[in-house]
Structure 1
């Protein structure tokens, strides 16, 4: 019985020692976490004067961007950067574009830089647009863009301005914009396309012209190769192509001598009278291909021309719902017109 007080003291000392050890361990952990966090969100190199251009892609997620920042040597830890951006309420404010960043900046400075105005602007050009439509979109998005200079520089480049989403400097000149568009065309339509064109006894310029017709005439990707086959067959047989989109191109070009503004209809409805329009682009009055592309086609239309589908059809039309209807004879085509267009 006389040993109980001693046992109680021993147990108390053991508990006390455990608590001391626990609090010391906790304190060391907190101090370690503090210094780790300070390192993780601090500058990679405070003495560096280097400037890097970092691009956040359109639609890119925060996880991907943070990982690339770490790989580029601009932040110490991708996870800490994302947590910091969330805690600061900046995660939803990050913009796409390109930014001038420095390894000497903290993670907070970099996160805040992403929420300010970007150096560049993302601009999208849909398939089937004319160069004038490109010009209007550039005017709407870039600072003091020289529209007339752009139109002059692209006067012989219809079809070569590849439809895509581009990153332009805010203050890009017309010459810079054209160079960016041409550079992307060279990537998307490389030199081996000349070989692909040759399989159909065509050169690239002819492929672009035919593809531009397909682009404007057909909405459904699966129908493009059929229409391309029909147009190639008619052209080789010496038939007029009779493509309404060429009349739209000619009609709008003649109506617009100095037509700025965004409301101009570059693809107007075609009337029976328009088939008499005096224009080299009138494929009702002139046989052969038009002088050049009538728009800037996408890859689907280009592929349709170099890989056309052979059929017995010589005629086609698109109804009001966008559905294609084909015919072998002129009589069948006339019946389709009466049924689907009147």
Structure 2
């Protein structure tokens, strides 16, 4: 090989070595760049991960704090409301009522928590006073009638007798509440000689009607372990206590005896739908017709729908008819009915004793749900033929 060829070969080798060095340096630079980029991506990913962890933790902490606030009733505006749980209400229905009332913040969370707080064991239909100081457990526990539980354990039952109930309605109500059986109550009313009550007539012994007017309507707590006689005696005692000595003196000085006053009061109770003023005005109509009869103003015929209604219920008549032959029909028989037609409350009894001082002889119910009073028949007739009149019976 010539010197020239050797030099060319050495030059080529040197050139290849230089190129290889450059390629290796370039590769190393690329690797270093790739490593830097990968390192940067790792740092960015780590930073994003840490930010997500922090944000997620803050979010969960916030949600947890809100849930704890709701569960434990913290930081709530003061609210006190009545919540009614209706028969058939679901947990969702009750949760919505609580949320709408401002007692819970989250309907869903209350539903979730209710399972752990024994919702089904406590919550029952009823109306309850609740407030925003109550946590979830307190809300659930307070939607339960604990007083009734105590009464049930003692064999006690609370019964409210509405004003205007007849003796038959009272017997049915007491039997329904378990105070005694219907047969026992009917027997006590009809046959037991309640000798301590002079207002009960011995002539009607054997009929439950002798109690009509004297079973005072109010709220009682009866003991189921005691007899039907005890229950009836409790109501008679209440009547005796409600009619004061002064009232008895005023009745004695009037044209009426106690039974007639209670009869009048029972009619007032059934005819009235308003306040004491209306009751006293109705009483004045009855007093005026009985004490100052005027043939042009109905004479002593009271002509009261309530007397016909009593006959219909008492005798099982389905059609309203003012010509029914009965001593209780005030359209064909003058004066008061033979006895009370219901059990009146104290306001009606006082109205019977102390009527308003008026010249009214007529009254009728208007479409405004108020009684309208008149001094002469023509005024009364114009009213009942007008669109303002509201017929009670058809």
TM range (shorter): 0.5 to 0.7
Question: Following TM superposition, where does structure 1 have runs of at least 4 consecutive aligned residues deviating by more than 3 angstroms?
Answer: 89-97, 113-116
* Alignment counterpart, residue 344 of structure 2, candidates 294, 297, 303: 297
Secondary structure at 2:322 match in 1: helix
* 1:235 positional shift: 1.3
* Alignment counterpart, residue 376 of structure 2, candidates 326, 329, 340: 329
* Alignment counterpart, residue 333 of structure 2, candidates 286, 297, 304: 286
Structure-2 residue corresponding to 1:233? 288
The whole-number CA distance in structure 1 between the counterparts of 2:226 and 2:244 is 25
In the TM superposition, 1:1-342 aligns within 5 A as 93=144, 95-96=146-147, 114=150, 117-142=153-178, 145-147=181-183, 148-150=186-188, 152-153=190-191, 154-221=208-275, 222-236=277-291, 237=293, 239-255=300-316, 271=320, 274-339=321-386, 340-341=389-390
Number of residue pairs the alignment of both structures matches: 233
* 1:137 positional shift: 0.6
Change (3 A) 1:252 1:146: closer
The whole-number CA distance in structure 2 between the counterparts of 1:143 and 1:182 is 16
Which has more radius of gyration? Answer: 2
Structure 1 range deviating more: 185-194 or 202-211: 185-194
- Normalised by the length of structure 2, the TM-score is 0.54
The whole-number CA distance in structure 2 between the counterparts of 1:312 and 1:115 is 51
- Normalised by the length of structure 1, the TM-score is 0.61
The whole-number CA distance in structure 2 between the counterparts of 1:116 and 1:138 is 16
- Decide whether the 8 Å contact of 1:145 with 1:172 is kept in 2: no
Q: In the TM superposition, what whole-angstrom CA distance separates every residue of 1:197-235 from its partner, at most 9, and x where no partner exists?
A: 134332211110000000000111221101101101101
Instruction: Give structure 1 stretches of 5+ with no counterpart.
Output: 1-58, 62-85, 98-112, 257-267
Change (3 A) 1:310 1:150: same
* 1:92 positional shift: 5.9
The whole-number CA distance in structure 1 between the counterparts of 2:152 and 2:314 is 40
The whole-number CA distance in structure 1 between the counterparts of 2:190 and 2:334 is 28
- Highest relative contact order (Cα 8 Å, sep 6+), 1 or 2? 1
